[in-house]
A and B are shown apart, each in its own frame.
Chain A
């Protein structure tokens, strides 16, 4: 456990230099202050410790226990049954379809979202009033919650009265029965559109921070060397943006793997279970007929493990590239 050395020394020296006159007074004061400080430190950290223990650590242990027990929604805990819950979870009719869809959705969303965010960031990076307006417009969607954004697009995608449907039929595309959420592919891309709209501004912000960290000298040097715009982008900007891009990628992948709100509201996993994500499956197993909290807990632990593995892989890949 790494202890920050700076802080205690500074505190101690402060105590020493500001303590009362006389060597005795100083020496006597510092240890008392340090002890008092330590206890007070715990006091201030106590609420945090309480929350973390009761609402985080205990549930984590509880979900582990539930995943190893026959735990019905109404019946409660009926004793251990490991590893049945795990085999049931993986053998679920919809387990592999949900996994496959979640992965597919994650890849598509991450690529498009980061690409769009990067483009927007490049566009508005300079300090200008117009750019301020642009930045704000791109950021406004991120003020909405994901559920609100999904409800908004649910109305936008209305099959007959909605603006998109009317636009398409006005342009003569489709036979008047265009259905944004009615077929597996349409549902997928329509949902991706919602996420891009909602999060592009946020990731643009993160990338802007990264862009700000690149000093103009580097660009000057590259231009002096005769590099054109595209070469500068690929060989100067992108490499220096790697940490920000990496952060965005990790956030986006994690968020997409855990997608729930938008699918619950827009498609409920349909049509034909083609848009069921893993978390939606967990919810359905827990409350939707099967009512088996044990299997749901097992499935959610599998998700947790997968997430840890994926994040570890990403981190090591990052570190490898940085070297």
Chain B
């Protein structure tokens, strides 16, 4: 068997060497380096990529469906290249990309949850676009958190696709009914607890004070890391190899949720929520106040009067999880110049303002934060908290395994802390460290 693979390998190697020598020969003859995709000459000649009617494939995950569709539609309407979008359920995305990458079948472009980007960048799934990014006029303004997540050994591989920030959403109508000020969200975690309990006291059928993804690791980091950050603590160490989720502030956060749960202020479906439907109930007007993805402001606005507040810490402050997806050109793409055309358009004002900002989504360029559509005071709050000093994009090589994966040690930790007896936080935290340190 080994002989067989070696023979195959040899054959391929010989083929590759032959092809390479042919190319080198041609190149030596007539400066054909210009024609090689991604070669320095093509990048310089086409800083915006090539728009020649190529079909491009793009994969993204379900939570960002609305923005992805809007962007793709706008691009297809104004360019010769046509992007074919594939949306995959969140839970399947990692395995889907993994299987495709292993067999060399990644699409031309694909987006990745920013917390997976370090891992996938290191594994070589994205193509190196350092020189291309350098040609962007707006390169200094691009969100640094996302850019650095996709940087490996000083080379850049990823641009921000859709920024998703976590903020507190509250239902203004329910606030009014409960006697709370509908224009003021909670400013400390204690107030958050009070507000949730007050809504629960309304005893309205089907309505609960708050909601959370009780079985969803990704939801947990997205909504609770800011609470810890705003309380002045760090959930992980500097390089993401050890967990600090048994710190004092963290334990207080778990205690608060535990109190809410035991007081019945958390919707019963939260306990088994794996993340597939964690945003549904709020949109149906059944939840009073909960941490929520800012990208859904426009969607939720359709059915509920939404109030927005930054996520507070124990004693105030504000923070957000600068999440969302980064996007890059895959290692398997054969049309990287054309794929780059989409990415360079993505970073342009046309895309950022006319598509993203227009639909009340976050822009990825700091210089466009003040734009003609950012009139909604709620959007201003979101933009503000994105620039707050306590807002971060956490980076860890094994982030997905430690936090987002189904049944990860993080899920075990907070489920024990909230639904169990809360005694194993330190031991569970050790399990997270072990996975992070792999």
- Which residues from chain A sit less than 8 Å from chain B, CB to CB? 58, 61-62, 65, 73-75, 93-94, 159, 175, 177, 179, 181-183, 268-273, 276, 283-284, 286-291, 293
Contact = CB atoms under 8 A, between A and B. Distances in A.
B268 A177 contact: yes
Contacts of A181: 272
Interface in B7-61: none
Contacts of A177: 268-269
Contacts of B272: 179, 181-183, 271
A91 B413 CA distance: 20
A181 B405 CA distance: 19
8 contacts: A179-B269, A268-B91, A276-B407, A284-B405, A288-B95, A289-B400, A290-B401, A291-B98
A276 B405 CA distance: 13
Interface of B: 1-2, 4, 91, 94-95, 98-99, 101-102, 119, 123-125, 215, 268-269, 271-272, 274, 398, 400-401, 405-407, 409, 411-412, 415, 431
Q: Which of B91, B99, B124 has the largest number of chain A CB atoms within 10 A?
A: B99
Contacts of B91: 268
B412 A272 contact: yes
Contacts of B1: 58, 61-62, 65
Contact of B2 (A65, A268, A288, A290): A65
B10 to A, nearest CB: 15
Nearest to B96: A287
A283 B95 CA distance: 9
- Tell me the interface secondary structure of chain B in the complex: helix
Nearest to B98: A287
Contact of A288 (B4, B98, B411): B98
B409 A93 contact: yes
Nearest to A65: B1
B2 A289 contact: no
Nearest to B123: A74
Contact of A93 (B2, B98, B431): B431
Nearest to A159: B269
B99 A287 contact: yes
B405 A269 contact: no
Given A287-B95, A289-B401, 12 more contacts: A74-B123, A74-B124, A177-B268, A182-B271, A268-B274, A269-B407, A271-B215, A273-B407, A286-B98, A287-B98, A288-B94, A288-B95
A276 B95 CA distance: 16
Given A93-B409, A272-B412, A272-B415, A75 B94 contact: no
A289 B102 contact: no
A283 B102 CA distance: 14
B269 A74 contact: no
A284 B400 CA distance: 12
Contacts of B4: 58
B238 to A, nearest CB: 22
A61 B119 CA distance: 31
A187 to B, nearest CB: 9
Contacts of B95: 283-284, 287-288
Given A65-B2, A74-B125, A272 B407 contact: yes
Pairs of residues from A and B, 10 with the lowest C-beta to C-beta distance, nearest first:
A273-B407, A182-B272, A287-B98, A61-B1, A287-B95, A73-B102, A289-B401, A177-B268, A288-B95, A289-B400
